[in-house]
Structure 1
Amino acid sequence: MAKLGAISTLLASAAFAVSGVAAFAAEHTLIISSWAPPTHGINALMWPKFTEMVEEATDGRVTTELKLGIAPPPAQMDLVMDGAADASIIFHGYQAGRFTTSKLIELPGYEGSAEAASVAYWRAYEKYLKDAEEHRGVKLIALHTHGPAQMHTSEPVETIDAVSGLKLRIPGGVGGDVGAALGATGIQVPAPKVYETLASKAADGVVMPMESRKGFKLTEVAQNVYEMPGGLYRGSFAFIMNEDIFADLPADIQKVLEEEVFGEPLSREIGKIWDEIDQAGRAETEATEGNAINAASEADQKAFMAIAEEVRATVLEELAAAGVDAQAAYDMIKSEMAAY
């Protein structure tokens, strides 16, 4: 509970922490565009951690300024490519038709934390996924995944068969594949629109990680969680930067950012934060009257394993068609996560 208290303290001070105001005069200020609510862990914890790492690595010569609401989630990559912001976070599933290799980390069945998954993801990217060049046009500075996604509904869901026919907000990528395999009617809306979608009864529920219980106030509009061990999928995210902005930084700053911040170090820290906010979301659910977490039965777990295997086979075929050694990449992620 001490960790949760620390998280609450950080949330309360988020606006100051990511403001880019420091005791020194920075030479360069990176403009960050972010689409999540102000108090969500992305803005309250992840971007401040990024700022801290950048300032520390560059001895204060580089800092950041966070701006919210510049553009909706699906527009963030184009925003950075066009130079309207220097850096942003993207959810790959919002970019229909743009990404395939990101589906690798989204597959159900991985065992381990978001921290372990994020580190394994970056390593697999470096070895197997990089040559696909799906992030061309921007500089990729981190890859990460959220924790296992679960089903959040207004009415209780107690069996996997009850999912068929439900209207569920499901993201693109593997989340959409899993929803279709379960027989749900998928509704795609960005995460910031989830609350109003549920409040208006336009959907019966959503499939998101546990952090959303708090981050998107699901405890108020989706009081029930149907929890599958390992989750129904994991979402894939990237931190990206404008290529020209990075190229314009002094060579020594570029070097230290590449060595001490970008890539695996930042991916690890973001994944670690996601584990913390998932814990906070669970705690919020357990403390909120009228909320319940319904664990999937052994029979449902077995049924989902069969569904997950079919989804996995299809995705690995997609990756292989994109020129990726899909089985080797998948085996690497499982191995890296198991050993983490």
Structure 2
Amino acid sequence: MIRRRHLLATAAGAALPAFAPAADRPLLFNSFLPSSHPLFGRVLKPWADEVAKATSGRVSFDTPAGSVAPPPQQMDAAAKGIIDVGYQFLGNLSDRIKLPQMTNLPLLHTGARASSVALWRTHARYFASAAEFRDVHLLGLWVMYPATVFAMKRPIAGTEDLKGLKVWSTPGFPSRVLEGIGASVVATPAVRSYEIISAGTVDAFASYAVSDAAAFNTLQYAKQVLDLPGHLQAPSFALFISKRAWSRISPQDQQAVTALSGEALAARLSAFDEIEAKARQAALAQGIRIEPAGASVVDAVRRAAAPLEQAWLADAARLGVDGKAALAFYRQEASKA
């Protein structure tokens, strides 16, 4: 189980004192999201509770009330032993973790559960040998809500409606695709989206899901949700444990943790499919139109994404991975997961 407790955050890079074996104390499970967030409450906490149950309490978790490390530094904190267990948005590690960035490519997403299961299976078959997570012990990978496009002033029917359109987006894959189509992109972190969208300085916004728009209080400014088949992007995350903490867990309990992680953890992302479905129903009830993108828009997104896909394939090749085979396998597994 997870117990939340208050502690002072350690200084960056500071090492904690030597720990007793995992059976003698809870593992420090750092969460940069509040306990009210569905990722913690509906995915990670149930996983941790199941781990504690399966190991008869020999592996349990203690979560500080505030994050011990900034969100972009979770994996580094685990590698240094500052935390035992953590998770991270892999977009923050795009300079060194290349292969799971595949999920950011447009037109790939089939749902949080299906895409998460497919990502783990693809990792197991194609990515694991590249050892991109060599500094920690990887427990799981998953994919969150898909990014879509929201029109604020007039519906987007074709590519002509996107050319010159001022669009807010997060940086990275979505903004580059939108720019490739001809949109004028204002790129900032998602936490600044409300500031920009509510001011009326953009004509549309993108890069997150309908449920995210509701959470950021920006959905009220949308008149249309434009759905691409496979969506614009789907961010990937990783769950990991420090090598030192993992080595203190008995082989029997390691086996129990592993059985509940990986694909079993990925399947828990069905919670996010449920949340997104409810958010879309609420949007429709508010009079927001949810419509499929026209063929010209889909083709334009595919063309704009081609250089990004080629860059990812080049990264995969440098890591000794057959990227085309991995992409094909991911699509196949996502369609049946």
TM-score bucket of the superposed structures, by smaller chain: 0.7 to 0.9
Does structure 2 conserve the Cα–Cα contact (< 8 Å) formed by 1:138 and 1:243? Answer: yes
Q: In the alignment, which of 316, 327, 330 is matched to residue 327 of structure 2?
A: 330
> What are the residue-to-residue correspondences of 1:80-95 with 2, within 5 Å?
80-95=78-93
Which moved further from structure 2: 95-104 or 218-227? 218-227
Which moved further from structure 2: 118-127 or 46-55? 46-55
Q: In the alignment, which of 103, 121, 134 is matched to residue 136 of structure 1?
A: 134
SS in 2 for 1:135: coil
Query: What corresponds to 2:177 in structure 1?
Result: 178
Does structure 1 conserve the Cα–Cα contact (< 8 Å) formed by 2:155 and 2:223? Answer: no
Does structure 2 conserve the Cα–Cα contact (< 8 Å) formed by 1:149 and 1:207? Answer: yes
Does structure 2 conserve the Cα–Cα contact (< 8 Å) formed by 1:40 and 1:216? Answer: no
- 1:49 aligned to 2:67? no
AA of the residue aligned to 1:55:
A
Count of residue correspondences: 315
AA of the residue aligned to 2:324:
Q
CA distance in 2, matches of 1:37, 1:280: 21
Deviation string, structure 1 residues 203-245 (Cα, Å, up to 9, x no partner): 6523113331344333246565332222012211111222211
Does structure 2 conserve the Cα–Cα contact (< 8 Å) formed by 1:86 and 1:242? Answer: yes
Query: What corresponds to 1:7 in structure 2?
Result: none
CA distance in 2, matches of 1:238, 1:325: 22
Deviation string, structure 1 residues 144-167 (Cα, Å, up to 9, x no partner): 112431024554451444444524
- 1:242 aligned to 2:242? yes
Query: What corresponds to 1:8 in structure 2?
Result: none
Which moved further from structure 2: 55-64 or 197-206? 197-206
Query: What corresponds to 1:339 in structure 2?
Result: 336
Q: Please, which runs of 5 or more residues in structure 2 have no aligned partner?
A: 6-22
- Seen in structure 2, the aligned counterparts of structure 1 residues 44 and 202 have a Cα distance that, compared at 3 Å, is farther
CA distance in 2, matches of 1:162, 1:35: 39
* Deviation, structure 1 residue 101: 0.8
* Deviation, structure 1 residue 129: 1.0
- 1:262 aligned to 2:261? yes
Does structure 2 conserve the Cα–Cα contact (< 8 Å) formed by 1:198 and 1:222? Answer: no
Deviation string, structure 1 residues 36-68 (Cα, Å, up to 9, x no partner): 354332122122222232123212333323344
- Seen in structure 2, the aligned counterparts of structure 1 residues 19 and 208 have a Cα distance that, compared at 3 Å, is same
SS in 1 for 2:30: strand
Does structure 1 conserve the Cα–Cα contact (< 8 Å) formed by 2:156 and 2:162? Answer: no
**Aligned residues with identical type, % of pairs:** 25
CA distance in 1, matches of 2:151, 2:83: 36
Q: In the alignment, which of 52, 71, 74 is matched to residue 73 of structure 1?
A: 71
- 1:207 aligned to 2:207? yes
CA distance in 2, matches of 1:221, 1:89: 32
- Seen in structure 2, the aligned counterparts of structure 1 residues 110 and 96 have a Cα distance that, compared at 3 Å, is closer
CA distance in 2, matches of 1:162, 1:83: 51
* Deviation, structure 1 residue 268: 2.1
TM-score normalised over the length of structure 1:
0.79
